[in-house]
Structure formats: C-alpha cells, structure tokens
Amino acid sequence: MEVQTGFSHGTIHRIISDHLNLKKLTARYIPKQLTDSQKAERVRICKENLEKFESGAWRLCDVITGDESWFYHKHIGRKLSNSAWVSRNDPPPTVVRQSPYAPKTLMIIFFKSTGPVFIHHVEREQTIDHRYYIDNCLEPLIDNIKRQRPTCGVQSIKPHYDNGRPHVHKEVSNYLESEGITIIKHPLYSPDLAPCDFWLFDFIKQNIPDQSDSELLHQAVSDFMNSL
C-alpha cells in the first residue's frame, strides 16, 4: 500500500484505523483463561526470575530455552495470512485448519542467545514420555553444551521450557539436578512467556519452504536456525 499510494506506513495506518474505523485482528488459538490466582503466580514467578537477572545471579547468555511443535510438510495458511482488517462489529477472520492426515513432523528445538543448541525430529508414531525426553533430548543437549563450553561446563546454564508432562517429570528434574543444572521456573498456561511459542516456531514456519519428508524438513529448519 505504501508503494501504491505514496503514503507513509503511519499515515496509512491512521487512515485505516481512524477514518475507516477498521481494526486488525489475527485469528489465534487461546489455550486457557487464567484465574486470578494463576495470574498472581505469573507475576510472582516473573518478578523472581527478573530479580535474579538484574542482580547478576543469572545471565541471559546462560539461558537455553526449548519446546516442541508440529511442522507440516506443506503449509496451507500461515499466521500472517490469518490477519485481516475488519469493521468494529465484524467477526474475526476464520482459519483453515490442516487435515489431521496431512504429513507433519514433531520438531524439538533448543536455542540460546547465540543460536541453536540442539534440533531433533521425532520419528513417526513415537511417543514422547519423560524417558524419551531425557535420552533423546536432554542428554544430547547437555553433551552439545559440554562440547561448546569445555571450560565452563554446564552448571551455569539455565534451561527454560513450559510445563508439559515430560518436562516436569520427577526423573527429568533429578537428571538435571545430577548435572548441577537449575531450571528456570515457568508459570502454568503461559505460552506467551515461552520464546518458542510466542516467537520462534511461527517465525520458522513463516520462512521455510514446503518439504517432502521429515529429513528434508529437519535440514530446512536447521539451515534457517543457523542463519539467524
């Protein structure tokens, strides 16, 4: 629109929102409405974590955040295409859902401020429980960190992920404690506080082309992550 009209982005936005009385909505899935106590716990945990960074007890460069997400081999609609300008009383845009039978691969990604640390794709029909998570994700992740930081070790790293069942299992906590690793607390039902959920996964999906199989998808994700 800027090219077609010659107007600046700000002018176009004012015309659309103020004069045409339109607003931009993005159709998104909202996982859960939080209770007042859950909201208060969010604030408490965030303040506690922030204080540790501000005091120097934790460093941003030591944070490794990770999660898993389904990546379809072929995209029929990306998050940006779910946005639309609508009148004040119009319903939000609808979203075309992928077929449950469409080819897809579950990817598990861990990254830090300097880039990706570990990328793993789960084989078809494989169930992810705490044992799989330890053997196929955490142990290789820790090994990678030890190779990358041979003099620092892993004691200073701070893993951060959501409260999925495999993530919070007692054996997972015990394994990380045995390595001298402290987990960053994450409040319940808070994907907006997990970088993988509120930024990374959508960003990757918007920028990688369609792929024919899991191996090519894994390579495409790895190449894109390494280019950031």
- Report pLDDT for 90: 76
| Burial annotation 169-205 (CB, 10 A radius, 16+ → b, else e) | beebeebbeeeebeebebbeebbebbebbeebbbbbb
pLDDT at 172 over 90: yes
pLDDT of residue 83: 66
User: Which band of pLDDT confidence, cut at 50, 70 and 90, is reported for residue 28?
Assistant: low
Residue 106 has pLDDT above 90, yes or no: yes
Give the pLDDT of residue 29: 55
Kindly state the percentage of the chain with pLDDT values over 70. Answer: 90
Q: Mean pLDDT score of the chain, rounded to an integer?
A: 89
Over the stretch 117-141, which tens digit does the pLDDT of each residue have? 999 999 999 999 999 999 999 999 9
* Mean pLDDT confidence for 16-21: 77
Query: What percentage of the chain reaches a pLDDT higher than 90?
Result: 68
Q: Tell me what pLDDT residue 107 has.
A: 98
Would you list the domain boundaries of the chain? 28-78+96-227
Residue 31 predicted with pLDDT over 70: no
Tokens of 74: 């072929």
Reply yes or no on whether the pLDDT at 80 is more than 60. no
- The residues, ordered by sequence, that sit 6+ positions from 155 with a Cβ below 8 Å of its Cβ are 179, 180, 181
Token digits of residue 100: 């449950």
| CA dihedral (124, 125, 131, 133) positive or negative | positive
How high is the pLDDT of residue 24?
A: 66
12: left (phi over 0), alpha (psi -120 to 50) or beta: alpha
Mean local confidence (pLDDT), 60-72: 96
Q: What pLDDT sits at residue 20?
A: 78
Residue type, 136: N
What digits encode the pLDDT tens for the residues 193-220?
999 999 999 999 999 999 999 999 999 9
Domain 28-78+96-227 architecture: 2-Layer Sandwich (3.30)
pLDDT of the residue at 9: 78
pLDDT at 147: 92
Segments of 35-160 assigned E as strands: 63-72, 83-87, 104-112, 115-122, 158-160
Mean pLDDT, residues 14-31 taken together: 68
Residue 181 has pLDDT above 80, yes or no: yes
- How far is Cα 24 from Cα 44, in angstroms, rounded to an integer? 32
Separation CA 189–CA 29 (nearest Å): 13
Distance CA 214, CA 124 (A): 9
Residue type, 179: E
- Amino acid in the structure at residue 205: K
